[in-house]
Amino acid sequence: MFRYFTAGESHGRALCAVIDGMPAGVPLSPDVIDAHLARRQQGYGRGNRMKIEADKVDILSGVRFGKTIGSPISLLIENRDWKNWTEKMSQFEDKSESVKKIHVPRPGHADFAGRVKYGFDDIRPVIERSSARETAARVAACSVARQFLKTLGVEIGSYLSAIGQAIEPERDSYADLIAEGAEALAKRADASPTRMIHEETEAKAIALIDEAKRRGDTLGGVIEVFVTGLPIGLGSYAQHDRKLDAQLAAAIVSIQAVKGVEIGTAFRNATRFGSEVHDELFMGDDGKPYRKTNRAGGIEGGMTNGEFVHLRVAMKPISTLMNPLRSVNLDSMREELSHIERSDACAAPACAIVAESVIAPVLMNAILEKFGGDSLDEIQARIADYDARCNKALAKR
């Protein structure tokens, strides 16, 4: 089983991740991880922090001669901004008196509950770990799982269909977008600063982000995530915690500022007749069953059904507003405007890369659960055997 943890504060010395359960024999180099880290740093609407950071990973263990060796993998990403925060983020007691404390929580952020829960007299420690800076470490760790999937022909990609009220026209089908695999779509989206693929919507989104910046406001968005190349039957209907859609949803909603996820076009489906929703099966000329639609998002009964997986992700507007919201000073207990911290006006394009990333361990574990194995060769052979069985089971009789 692929498991990982991250550690590190937003303005601490570094972020790190420790991974356990990576099979041996998977090609891995820092470049593969750095490419995703760079994608996560992009996006129209990001703040000045991204001008300071140029995230690069150091692989500290678990890789030899360009391949994983089945041992724990540890990763390190330095925070370049740390040098500006050595006093404020000092580990040593003697600095604590000279640093100004933060008392006014930002509505929508972890500040209020975090300060009360941990008994702090300062919101700073809450800000530091709840910050979406942590997603750099997650993207790094998940890129390792992603690399495993890629060697098996599984691709993940995403684009943005909405930023604020810049919403692309409703699509009947997403199939044409991923006809060449999910990575080709991701590449297309990567070429745009909003990661949108509908030109008019992108122009509107850019104008809206400019307006948000001018007003000291923020914007969220809707991210469409796709996976292609998965075998049929990952996950299971047999027990609640083995349902793949439930596991994917949990991973997605664990992302900072993500508040909703749909499997396929779930909310649209909920407002229609069943006959307008369910993806009918037809017999193809090649003797195999096929479908003309994929409104279920590639998952039925908690299992992959051979169609591409489609998730829709709702990111709320970031809760740090330069034009602050009303709040309460938790030291004086008087009403005050909330704390202002350098932040992004819109981070939805970056969130898309995080969404692509966090589902990789879930998919990888579904593969490991079904096929098992400690080395890439072993797993590949088992999948090939299963593919042959599936082809036989689904062949015309």
Q: Is 136 in the site for ligand EPS (CB under 6 A)?
A: yes
Q: Is 8 in the site for ligand EPS (CB under 6 A)?
A: no
Neighbours of 388 (CB within 10 A): 10
Instruction: State the number of binding residues for ligand EPS (CB under 6 A).
Output: 15
Paired tokens of 240: 């609640």
CB nearer ligand EPS, residue 40 or residue 370: 40
Binding segment (CB under 6 A) for ligand EPS, from list 92-100, 125-133, 197-205, 365-373 = 125-133
Q: Name, in order, each residue with C-beta under 8 angstroms of 188's C-beta and a sequence gap of 6 or more.
A: 159, 197
Q: How far apart are the first and last CA of the chain?
A: 38
CB nearer ligand EPS, residue 68 or residue 319: 319
Least distance (Å) between residue 131 CB and ligand EPS: 4
Least distance (Å) between residue 3 CB and ligand EPS: 23
Which residues is 291 bridged to in the sheet?
281
Q: Give, as ranges, the residues between 71 and 110 that touch ligand EPS (CB under 6 A).
A: 81
Kindly provide the b/e burial profile for residues 240-273, where b requires at least 16 CB atoms within 10 angstroms of the residue's own CB: eeebbbbbbbebbeebbbbeebbbbbbeebeeee
Binds ligand EPS (CB under 6 A): choice among 147, 320, 338, 365: 320
DSSP-derived secondary structure for 158-185 = EEEEEETTEEPPPPS-SGGGGTT-HHHH
Binding segment (CB under 6 A) for ligand EPS, from list 1-9, 126-134, 243-251, 275-283 = 126-134
**Among the residues of 85-158, which ranges form H helices?**
111-118, 124-130, 134-151
Paired tokens of 156: 């993940």
Least distance (Å) between residue 151 CB and ligand EPS: 28
Binds ligand EPS (CB under 6 A): choice among 23, 25, 43, 47: 47
Q: Give, as ranges, the residues between 330 and 389 that touch ligand EPS (CB under 6 A).
A: 341-344
Binding segment (CB under 6 A) for ligand EPS, from list 131-139, 186-194, 223-231, 368-376 = 131-139
Cα(165)–Cα(270) distance, rounded to whole angstroms?
22
Give 35's DSSP letter.
Answer: H
Letter for the amino acid at 57? Answer: V
Q: Is 264 in the site for ligand EPS (CB under 6 A)?
A: no
Paired tokens of 356: 């692509």
CB nearer ligand EPS, residue 34 or residue 300: 34
Residue 182-201 contact track with ligand EPS, rule CB under 6 A, x = bound: --------------------
CA distances from 187 to 180, 193, 355 (A): 11, 12, 15
Q: Is 9 in the site for ligand EPS (CB under 6 A)?
A: no
Neighbours of 127 (CB within 10 A): 23
Q: Is 49 in the site for ligand EPS (CB under 6 A)?
A: yes
Binding segment (CB under 6 A) for ligand EPS, from list 21-29, 128-136, 137-145, 376-384 = 128-136
Q: Is 276 helix (H, G, I), strand (E, B) or coil?
A: helix
Closest residue to bound ligand EPS by CB: 49
Give 129's DSSP letter.
Answer: H
Binding segment (CB under 6 A) for ligand EPS, from list 17-25, 95-103, 132-140, 211-219 = 132-140
Residues that bind ligand EPS (CB under 6 A): 10, 47, 49-50, 53, 81, 131-133, 136, 320, 341-344
